[in-house]
Structure formats: C-alpha cells, structure tokens
C-alpha cells in the first residue's frame, strides 16, 4: 500500500490532518496579511500616531 492510502485509512487521522492543516494555514495567512497591512499603512495606524495625539492633548490642557 502506498503511504497516502495507509495514512488516510482511518477517518480520525484524516479529520485530524484536515484540522491541523487548516489551523496552520490560518495562522500563516493571518500573520502574513497582518505584516503586509501594517507595512502598507505605516504611519497611519493608531500605534504610530498615538504619541502625537497624546502630546497634542497635553498641550491643549496647558493652554486653558
């Protein structure tokens, strides 16, 4: 018997392989898209502009 036939002979192993592959793909896809999105929008995200807004809010309070 070939490796594939023997490996997928039991339904539980087949289902576990599908779930494991789906989890691995989801993790890879999520990390890749997040890195691309953050790189593409660098300087526009909250984590990049938060310091400017907090410094600006502090200056406005001193003017009053």
Question: Which residues, 6 or more positions from 8, have their beta carbon under 8 angstroms from its beta carbon?
Answer: 14, 17
Domain boundaries, the chain: 22-54
Rg value, the chain, Cα: 24
Q: What is the pLDDT of residue 24?
A: 98
Each residue of 34-63: b (16+ CB within 10 Å) or e? eeeeeeeeeeeeeeeeeeeeeeeeeeeeee
d(CA 7, CA 14) in angstroms, rounded, equals 8
User: Which pair of structure tokens corresponds to residue 45?
Assistant: 């995200």
**pLDDT tens-digit profile of 5-59?**
877 788 888 899 899 999 999 999 999 999 999 999 999 999 999 988 888 876 6
């Amino acid at each position: 018997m070939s490796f594939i036939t023997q490996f997928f002979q039991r339904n539980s192993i087949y289902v576990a392989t599908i779930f494991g592959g789906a989890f691995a793909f989801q993790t890879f896809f999520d990390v890749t898209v997040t890195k691309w999105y953050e790189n593409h929008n660098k300087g526009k995200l909250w984590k990049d502009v938060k310091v400017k807004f907090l410094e600006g809010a502090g200056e406005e309070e001193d003017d009053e």
